A and B are shown apart, each in its own frame.
Chain A
């Protein structure tokens, strides 16, 4: 309740701030101070709400629905704190919280730069108002009480001392098929509890817990970093609109530059951490699966990177006295689109439209939220492109558009367009499910090889070109050494790596070309002003990243293996032997040990599998053995303890009246043989089973496939029909549905002779050559971004 009030007040403050800042921009000077105050009040209220949510989680207050749904007593403290963003409501809160912080920094930044503050902040508070509306009691409020809508709660979460109270019995339900008991939590039960002096917090004593895929280290850092990137993406949008409000395109370039660089750097880091998480924990087999959730954060990043380069051109041409500079319109579009795409990404992943397409689990939040998110996207698209349309004529008249063919301007522009093409392709592919289509990874992969070739080639080329114009023989002279060096390097890589695909050769060439050109420049200026290094460091990072991508994805090998316990198998030059499994983490998980030997090098890897209580599903975690030049990657697929394959034949599931064929015999499940109910309820010995009719070679047999309970032992009695060469054994019987699972096999089948059950671990083993370069490349790139941030921050004050 308090939480909802705080958030509602924050929404009101945000709207007040927006109106006051706008009035401040329109010339009402008194309004500016009110707007400033209102924004600070809003930020404080948001911090308070976030602190309250964290407090409720840490103190296990399960009377709040969000706390019940996403946390439990068992979570360790770090993960418990991270369950703050485990669900939709909380991740909106995280977004809001981080956006508020960004706003405080932005307000401070803008107040020091002329008349910037009212314009920028009036747009920024539009964004905070929308996010606040999202977490308001109307939509995805994290402070909803548990019983706001009737909810079935598993009996495990209920205080065992209270469940027997007479008035509780009316709210108990049983699910026959899963044999679980539930309590229906509703206003009726809450008033009955209150009447008896029991609080909901005493009654519900544990939560549902967090999805086991999220209960690990990366959950604690990946979402905050990614959402920081999302939050910071608001700022370039605000600067672009603010520039158009004033119709002054001079200062916004240098003022928004550090923000754009920082947003892209953080967003890039967040995306990479997500990829590393997927690689290390989720066992997707790789770091990038073109999953909609991954894609939708990559799209704004690509647009931001495109924008950085065209913004640079505008800055340079302004400095050379070209009026408002080149590519002003392009920049305004890209800056606006970056944030619009961030919201669109939220729309894609939170509205449930991709329900069928993603491995991430989505909850359909209902049409109201769907519509709200559409309005959110639409509003920002309209504000961004609407103001641009309004200023279009002025911009067209005042932009000089003449670039020489061999100019750095043109090559940067072309590179930006290629980056936008990449973003468009991913956008189309990711949005396809909305229109009932889907694309596979091949769609993205085959598009991106040519794109990467062009981008890296242009990157190297643009740095050799001069601003304005370059004479072709100058270019030739300048580029010859780098081209020669990269050709030599490429040939070495081709020979060493055994590359045969022409496109991959071209890609290797353009990446090494970019790498060498950037290294050369970086070495030249390292003794001078180190702040100038940013761009080159970032380029070197992304080139290294791409070499890692080529190595790990194109030259990785993979193989599916059935490892029989104790029997070594050879793969990729390693002898692998499954040595058995052991429980870990308080018996909640199982580690399957595989001994690997290559020459003198022996090590054990332990992929993990377990059944999670949370969703009753099998969870798998890969094991990775990292070496300098490659990773060995072991994904567990399944484990068979050998007891089920004893019969040899397939298990067939039958309902009463069904018929199936096996080895020329026709078998009909005639009727269910019921147990003696009284002895069964009394805990005595009983039997149940299926009455079967077998037809073979004109003969008919009546067979009873039975399950016998004897004391605590359950036995499935096999039946052998020697004449029909048929062995029948019940494997499972559900007395409620009377559905039977029966194993048929031939008696003289060799398979039945296998005496000892074999324990088999099925894994997918793969090599990931140079995957380390993927991570280090991105880290170097992010480092480069931040060198540039510090340089551009200084310039933004001048």
Chain B
């Protein structure tokens, strides 16, 4: 009787404790408010959209890609990514960048583009109602 609860309980306590610790260490929060991203300066997954009006730079030799992102409230920030432009970047509906805000720009280590996987659904707005 005692042994079962002793061993079971011990394992549960150790692993759940370990998990809780690791979770606080390794978890990355999703953040859609760029004002917070810029203020807090810790590693987050910032979700927003690409500012297509502002210039972007793809430096092929150094493999640095930089562009501007904005959140729903219109806060904008510059994103610098060490890598090439993701293939479906231009058609992405929204972008998730992982990294932290440092030295005046968001240093991204990863870019995830969310594309309309059923393009017709989202295209309804993009398709201009200009009859041929």
Contact = CB atoms under 8 A, between A and B. Distances in A.
B63 to A, nearest CB: 9
Contacts of B87: 617-618
A401 B1 contact: yes
A652 B59 CA distance: 9
B81 to A, nearest CB: 14
A618 B90 CA distance: 13
Given A405-B3, A645-B61, A174 B22 contact: no
B4 A174 contact: no
A651 B3 contact: no
Interface stretch (A6-14, A409-417, A710-718): A409-417
Contacts, number: 156
Contact of B117 (A174, A182, A363, A450): A363
Interface stretch (B5-13, B34-42, B70-78): B5-13
Given A428-B19, A433-B30, A356 B114 contact: yes
A431 B84 CA distance: 30
Nearest to B31: A436
Contact of B84 (A151, A447, A638): A638
Nearest to B110: A440
A152 B120 contact: yes
B112 A615 contact: no
Interface stretch (A368-376, A418-426, A688-696): A418-426
B19 A438 contact: no
A172 interface: yes
Interface residues of A, number: 68
Contact of A413 (B8, B28, B123): B8
Contacts of B61: 645, 648, 650, 751
B120 A151 contact: yes
Given A151-B120, A428-B19, A446-B22, A437 B30 contact: yes
B47 A439 contact: no
Nearest to A651: B58
Given A401-B4, A428-B19, A436-B30, A172 B132 contact: yes
Interface in A442-461: 442-443, 446-447, 450-451, 454
A413 B131 CA distance: 70
Nearest to A414: B7
A443 B26 contact: yes
B26 A442 contact: yes
B120 A437 contact: no
Contacts of A440: 26, 28
Contacts of B96: 356
B105 interface: no
Contact of A361 (B11, B56, B117, B123): B117
Contacts of A405: 3
Interface string A637-673: 0101000110010111111001010000000000000
Contacts of B30: 356, 433, 436-438
Contacts of A174: 127-128, 130, 132
B80 to A, nearest CB: 13
Contacts of A424: 15-16, 19
Contact of B58 (A152, A413, A418, A650): A650
A182 B15 contact: no
Interface string A80-123: 00000000000000000000000000000000000000000000
A439 B26 contact: yes
Given A363-B118, A410-B3, A617-B88, A653 B127 contact: no
Contacts of A615: 88, 115, 117, 119
A401 B6 CA distance: 13
B23 A443 contact: yes
A731 to B, nearest CB: 10
Contact of B8 (A414, A450, A655, A660): A414
Interface string B48-67: 00001111111111000000
Given A644-B60, A650-B60, A417 B12 contact: yes
A542 interface: no
Nearest to B22: A443
A410 B15 CA distance: 18
A739 B4 CA distance: 70
A196 interface: no
Contact of A660 (B29, B53, B55): B55
B59 A175 contact: no
A432 B84 contact: no
A176 interface: yes
Contacts of B59: 650
A161 interface: no
Interface string A181-194: 11000000000000
A655 B52 CA distance: 9
Nearest to A181: B132
B60 A645 contact: yes
Nearest to A150: B124
A367 interface: no
Contacts of A153: 120
15 contacts: A152-B120, A153-B120, A182-B123, A356-B47, A404-B3, A405-B3, A417-B12, A421-B15, A447-B15, A451-B15, A616-B88, A651-B57, A653-B56, A655-B54, A660-B55
8 shortest interchain CB distances as A-B pairs: A618-B87, A650-B59, A361-B117, A421-B15, A401-B1, A152-B120, A443-B26, A437-B27
Given A362-B117, A403-B4, 19 more contacts: A151-B120, A152-B124, A173-B129, A173-B130, A176-B130, A356-B112, A401-B4, A403-B1, A410-B7, A417-B8, A432-B27, A433-B30, A439-B22, A439-B23, A617-B115, A650-B57, A650-B61, A655-B55, A660-B55
